[in-house]
Structure 1
Amino acid sequence: MSGNKTVVYKGPGEVAVESFAYPKLEIPQEVADAFGIKQAAPHAVILKLVTTNICGSDQHMVRGRTTAPIGQTLGHEITGEVVEIGDDVLFHKPGDICSVPFNIACGRCRMCNEGKTGICLNVNPARAGAAYGYVDMGGWLGGQAEYVMIPYADFNLLKFPDRDAALEHILDLTMLSDIFPTGYHGAVSAGVTTGSTVYVAGAGPVGLAAAFSAQLLGASHVIVGDMLDARLKQAESFGCSTVNLASGDSLADMVADIVGEPEVDAAVDAVGFEARGHGEGAAEAPATVLNDVMSIARAGAALGIPGLYVTGDPGAVNEEAKHGQIGVRLGLGWAKSHSFVTGQCPVKKYNRKLMNLILAGRAPIGKAVNATTISLEDAPSGYKQFDAGAAQKFVIDPHGMVA
Structure 2
Amino acid sequence: MSGNKAVVYEGPGKVEVHDTDYPGFELKDGPGVNPANVGRKLPHAAIIKSVATNICGSDQHMVRGRTTAPQGLVLGHEITGEVVETGPGVEYIKTGDLVSVPFNISCGRCRNCKERKTGICENVNPDRPGSAYGYVDMGGWVGGQAEYALVPYADWNLLKFPDKDQAMEKILDLAMLADIFPTGFHGCVTAGVGPGSTVYIAGAGPVGLAAAASAFLLGAAVVIVGDLNKERLDQAHSFGCETINVAMGDPRDQIEQILRVPEVDCAVDAVGFEAKGHGREASEERPAAVLNTLMGITRAGGALGIPGLYVTGDPGAHEEAAKHGSLSIQIGLGWAKSLSFATGQCPVMSYNRQLMMAILHDRVQIAKAVNATPIPLEQAPQGYHEFDEGAARKYVLDPHGMLAKAA
* Same fold per superposition (TM over 0.5): yes
Alpha-carbon spacing, 1:21–1:231, altered in 2? closer, same or farther (3 Å): same
SS in 1 for 2:82: strand
SS in 2 for 1:11: coil
Residues 291-342 of structure 1: CA distance to partner in whole angstroms, max 9, x if unpaired?
0100000000000000000001000012100011011100000000000000
Contact map agreement 2:34 2:140 (CA 8 A) in 1: no
Q: Distance in 2 between matches of 1:174 and 1:314?
A: 32
Partner of 2:116: 115
Report the residue type matching 2:14 in the other structure.
Answer: E
Q: Distance in 1 between matches of 2:262 and 2:366?
A: 29
Runs of at least 5 residues in structure 2 that lack an aligned partner in the other structure:
none
User: Cα distance, 1:204 vs. partner?
Assistant: 0.1
Partner of 1:14: 14
User: Cα distance, 1:357 vs. partner?
Assistant: 0.4
Aligned pair 1:181/2:182, yes or no? Answer: yes
SS in 1 for 2:76: coil
Partner of 2:354: 353
Aligned pair 1:56/2:57, yes or no? Answer: yes
Aligned pair 1:2/2:2, yes or no? Answer: yes
SS in 2 for 1:243: strand
User: Cα distance, 1:28 vs. partner?
Assistant: 5.0
Partner of 1:46: 47
Contact map agreement 1:28 1:139 (CA 8 A) in 2: no
TM-score (norm 1): 0.97
For this pair of structures, how many residues does the alignment match? 401
Runs of at least 5 residues in structure 1 that lack an aligned partner in the other structure:
none
Report the residue type matching 1:271 in the other structure.
Answer: V
TM-score (norm 2): 0.97
Matches within 5 A, 1:157-306: 157-247=158-248, 249-279=249-279, 281-306=282-307
Alpha-carbon spacing, 1:23–1:239, altered in 2? closer, same or farther (3 Å): same
Q: Distance in 2 between matches of 1:21 and 1:266?
A: 46
Partner of 1:377: 378
Partner of 1:132: 133
Q: Distance in 2 between matches of 1:198 and 1:19?
A: 45
SS in 2 for 1:391: coil
Matches within 5 A, 1:89-108: 89-108=90-109
The share of aligned pairs that are identical, in percent, is 67
Report the residue type matching 2:395 in the other structure.
Answer: F
Alpha-carbon spacing, 1:383–1:32, altered in 2? closer, same or farther (3 Å): closer
Q: Distance in 2 between matches of 1:250 and 1:173?
A: 36
User: Cα distance, 1:38 vs. partner?
Assistant: 6.9
Report the residue type matching 2:79 in the other structure.
Answer: I
SS in 1 for 2:201: strand
User: Cα distance, 1:289 vs. partner?
Assistant: 0.2
SS in 1 for 2:175: helix
Contact map agreement 1:186 1:306 (CA 8 A) in 2: yes
Contact map agreement 1:31 1:125 (CA 8 A) in 2: no
Partner of 1:142: 143
Report the residue type matching 1:206 in the other structure.
Answer: V
| Aligned Cα root-mean-square deviation (Å) | 1.4
